[in-house]
Amino acid sequence: MSNIVTVHEVGLRDGLQNQPKHVPTQGKIEILNALIASGITSIEATSFVSPKAVPQMADATDLYSRLPSDDSIHFEALVPNEKGYELAVNAGAKTIALVLASTNTMNRKNINMTLDHALNVNINVIGRAKAEGVRARSYISTALHCPYEGEVKPSIVFDIAEKLHSAGADELVIADTTGGGNPAQVKSIFNTLINKYGSKILAAHFHDTRGMGLVLAWTALECGIRKFDSSIGGLGGCPFAPGATGNLATEDLVFMLNESGYKTGVNIEKLKNAIKVAQSYVDQPLGGKITKWLDSQQ
Ligand code: HMG
Ligand code: MG
C-alpha cells in the first residue's frame, strides 16, 4: 500500500467560515501562500454559498481570481447547490466539493433542504460537472454523528455513498462534522466503503472537538485511506452544527504522518509560519496538539 498521503488543507474554507472577525481577501491569500510555501499542494480555497448564510465567504469570486496559476497546486471550492456550482465554475474552479449531510435535520439547518432534496441537487450537479469536465468531490457530512439526531446508522451513509458514486462522484469524503465519532465507527465505515469502491475514491474529514481527530485519522489510515482534510492551526467548524469545533489541525496530521514514515511533502517548520500568518487574522488562539512542543524546539 502506498506511503504517500495527500493532506488536503481546508483552513481557508472550513477554517474561516465561522470566524467572527472579517478576514480580508488579501489576508486569505497570505495564508494560502504560507501554506503553499510549506509544501501543501491540495487546498479547498473557499465556498460559493449564500453570503447571508456565511458572510466570511462572500469574496469567493474575487478570491478565486487571485489564486496562483500554478498547475501543481490543486484548488477546489465548496458548493451547496446549482447556483454555487455555476458561480464556482465561472470563477475558474476545476474541482467542486458538494455537500450534504446524512440526516434531514442537519441538511435543513445547513443548506435548507431535506436529505432527498439535497441528494437530488448533488446528483444533478455531479451530472453537470461530469458533462462539463469539472471534477466533483462529494462530502457526506454528519456521517458518524449528527448534532440534532445523534448517532447515524451506517446503512444511511452507505446508501448515500452508493447514490453519489452511481451519479459519478470522483471522490467521497466521509465527514465527522461534530467530532462525535469514534475509532470503531471509522474502521467499520471505511472498511465497508473500501471493499465496495476501493480506497482511492475515498477521503476523510475529521473535526477535533473531543480530541479524537488524530486517532480517527490513524484508524482511517490503517484501513487504507490516503487523503485527509485538515485545517491550519485547527481552525474550523460548521456554523450550523452546534458544538462542533475546529478541524483536525494540519500540523498534527503532518507531524504524525511524517514521523511515521509517510510522505506528505509538507515541511513542519514551514507550516509553523503558516500558523503564525493565520493567527494574525483571527482572534482565537490557534494550534493543534503538537504546536506547543514545536514552538519549544527553537
Ligand atoms: P436558501 O435561503 O434556502 O436559498 O439557502 P435560496 O435559493 O432561497 O436563496 C437565498 C439567497 O441566497 C438568494 O439571494 C440566492 O440568490 C442566494 P437573495 O435573492 O436573497 O439576494 N444564493 C446563493 N448565493 C451565493 N451562492 C450560492 C447561493 N445559493 C443561493 N450558492 C443555501 C440555501 C444552500 C443557499 C444556504 O443555506 C447556504 O448557502 N448554505 C451554506 C451553508 C454553509 O456554507 N455551511 C458550511 C459548509 S458545509 C460544512 O462545513 C461541512 C463540511 O466541512 C464537512 C463536515 O465537516 O461535515 C463540508
Ligand atoms: Mg467540516
Phi, psi of 265 (to 5 degrees): 75, 5
48 lines ligand 1 (CB under 6 A): yes
Mean pLDDT by 10 residues, the chain (298 residues): 97 96 98 98 98 98 96 97 98 98 98 98 98 98 97 97 98 97 98 98 97 98 98 93 93 98 97 97 95 87
Give the residue among 97, 99, 96, 166 at the shortest CA–CA distance from 133. 96
CB atoms within 10 A of CB 157: 21
Tell which atom from ligand 1 comes closest to the C-alpha of 84: 31
Query: In this structure, which topology does domain 6-296 adopt according to CATH?
Result: TIM Barrel (3.20.20)
H or E element, residue 205:
strand 202-206
Per annotation, catalytic residue among 220, 238, 244, 277: 238
Query: What residue has cell string 479547498?
Result: 44
For ligand 1, whether the C-beta of 76 sits within 6 Å is: no
Each domain of the chain, given as residue ranges in start order, spans 6-296
Instruction: Give pLDDT, residue 237.
Output: 86
175 within ligand 1 shell (Cβ under 6 A):
yes
Asked about 146 being catalytic, the answer comes back as no
Q: How far apart are CA 170 and CA 97, in angstroms?
A: 10
